[in-house]
Amino acid sequence: MQAKPWGLPMASKTVDVLIVGGGMAGGMLAAALAETDLTCALVDRAPAPVMPEGEAEIRVSALTEASQHMLANVGVWKNIPAQRLAPYQR
């Protein structure tokens, strides 16, 4: 999914779905809706994220297997580099 900035104030646009917040949940919803006939906009005050390079930070986001399947279904999971993934182990 490619971001398409409008370059105009949001107040001048009409959309079917407005997603506020581009974190994991908002990004997932935007990816899931990208293949529908709905017009969607995702707004977030933070700059667009980029995939980090180099050594991974000691920071963890835990996802359930269901979340992994959802990300795979919208074509996102395959874009996560293998060196950034690790299964949870007790």
Q: Who contacts 54 (Cβ-Cβ below 8 Å, separation ≥6)? A: none
Mean pLDDT of 25-47: 90
Say yes or no to pLDDT of 29 above 90: yes
Report pLDDT for 66: 92
Residue 48 predicted with pLDDT over 70: yes
**What is the spatial distance between Cα 13 and Cα 41, in angstroms, rounded to a whole number?**
9
Q: Say which residue, 17 or 10, is predicted with more confidence.
A: 17
Q: What is the mean pLDDT of the chain?
A: 81
pTM of the model: 0.66
SS (H, E, C) 8-76: CCHHHCCCCEEEECCCHHHHHHHHHHCCCCCCEEEECCCCCCCCCCCCCCCCCCCCCHHHHHHHHHCCC
User: What is the rounded distance in angstroms from the CA atom of residue 17 to the CA atom of residue 60?
Assistant: 30
d(CA 72, CA 51): 17
